[in-house]
Amino acid sequence: GHHVSSQHVRIRRRELQCRFDIEKFTPAFLSIYESLVPVDEEIVKQKQLLLSLRKLVNKEWPNAQLHLYGSCANSFGVSKSDVDICLAIDDTNMSKSEILLKLADLLQADKLENVQALTHARVPIVKMMDPVTGIACDICINNLLAVVNTKLLRDYAQIDERLRQLAFIVKHWAKSRGVNETYKGTLSSYAYVLMCIHFLQQRTPAILPCLQELEATCVVTIDGTTCAYFDQVDRLRNFGVQNNESVARLLWGFFQYWAYYHDYANDVISVRTGRLISKQMKDWTRRIGNDRHLICIEDPFETSHDLGRVVDKYSIRILREEFERAADILQYDPNPSVTLFEPY
């Protein structure tokens, strides 16, 4: 045991040494990032759609509100993504399904296309397409925790631009390599962004602070869960300046971490605390029902919620092989900004 593990440490040490020419790839990664960011025109169209839906919904339910959430509002959305909208309503006379069906009727009557109420989905929604803007849209009911975690992600993104750069490239990699598909046991976009935030909280010097450990300036309670954090992020704009790592260096470190350093058996990544915490502490050491906890990513607000719960014993192997592939490409490949995204 001892001999093997000391050898293992030696191998890891060698891998920690980053290739000397990593910086020369930063321009190529930045131009990939720039090509993924949506243009202003698209943001304007999304806002237009939201405004017209508000009008429509408020005619039927004057007190209801519509909120954007997910990638169109968290600042991690690529060009042409679907728009996620949450309808906040407290109508005690109608069930969720009845509200969804009524909403579907209203949308259909307003000439929106492909209107479909999915009342039995894990998250029940109405799907539709707006023929005016060409935007596809999902509307869910009273999913306010998603609205708040969307704001948390957006607030983190404003602190240091390297978060968006890193997360866009990681999401693009995950989509190209087929590991951004929760129904196949790989991770959601939301999980990847949390992994990036946590990684930047862990750099020395840190690139991101832990907003939930600072004095709370934003406090809301949703279904008994209190969400509290420091949201005056314009006061944190200089937080990461002591650290001058570029996006290529960070990508290398991110994939090294998930390929060779993360302790899958014992650790949970936690944006809430800005640290690693132990599976033991969360009682995530064994499978309970369908929660296997093979890779553990704590939701910042719903702390009993592991975003890695979708991962099973087959998909964990695929994921880890992909992390290793990416780490090795960033370490050795002559053309990492191309090879990284090659379709599988």
User: Which positions touch Mg ion (CB under 5 A)?
Assistant: 70-71, 84
Specify the pairing of strand 267-270 against strand 296-298: parallel
Long-range contacts of 231-235 (CB under 8 A, 24+ apart): 231/151, 231/155, 233/155, 233/156, 233/158, 233/159, 234/158
69 binds, among ligand GTP, Mg ion, none (CB under 5 to 8 A by kind): ligand GTP
Mark 214-233 with x for binding to ligand GTP (rule: CB under 6 A) and - for no binding: --------------------
> Do residues 170 and 192 make contact, with C-beta atoms less than 8 angstroms apart?
yes
Residue 84 makes contact with ligand GTP by CB under 6 A: yes
Q: Tell whether omega for the bond before 205 is within 30 degrees of 0, i.e. cis.
A: yes
Q: Tokens for 14, please give them.
A: 């060698």
Nearer to ligand GTP, 188 or 303 (CB): 188
Q: Which residue has the tokens 């196949």?
A: 184
Number of amino acids touching ligand GTP (CB under 6 A): 16
Nearest distance from C-beta of residue 295 to ligand GTP, angstroms:
14
Residue 77 makes contact with ligand GTP by CB under 6 A: yes
Task: Determine which residue in the list 26, 75, 150, 201 makes contact with ligand GTP, applying CB under 6 A.
Answer: 150
Chain centroid to Cα 305, Å, comes to 14
Q: Containing H/E element for 267? A: strand 267-270
Nearest distance from C-beta of residue 7 to ligand GTP, angstroms:
39
Nearest distance from C-beta of residue 227 to Mg ion, angstroms:
20
Cβ neighbours, 10 Å, residue 267? 16
Nearer to ligand GTP, 22 or 137 (CB): 137
Nearer to ligand GTP, 302 or 324 (CB): 302
Nearest distance from C-beta of residue 174 to Mg ion, angstroms:
13
Task: Determine which residue in the list 190, 229, 258, 284 makes contact with ligand GTP, applying CB under 6 A.
Answer: 190
Cα separation, 255 vs 243, in Å, equals: 19
Q: Tokens for 287, please give them.
A: 């499978």
Residue 71 makes contact with ligand GTP by CB under 6 A: yes
3-class DSSP assignment, residue 253:
helix
State how far the alpha carbon of 163 is from the alpha carbons of 49, 64, 159, 160, 168, in Å: 28, 34, 8, 6, 8
Nearest distance from C-beta of residue 93 to ligand GTP, angstroms:
28
Provide the binding-site residues for ligand GTP, judged by CB under 6 A. 69-71, 74, 76-77, 81, 84, 146, 149-150, 182, 188-190, 307
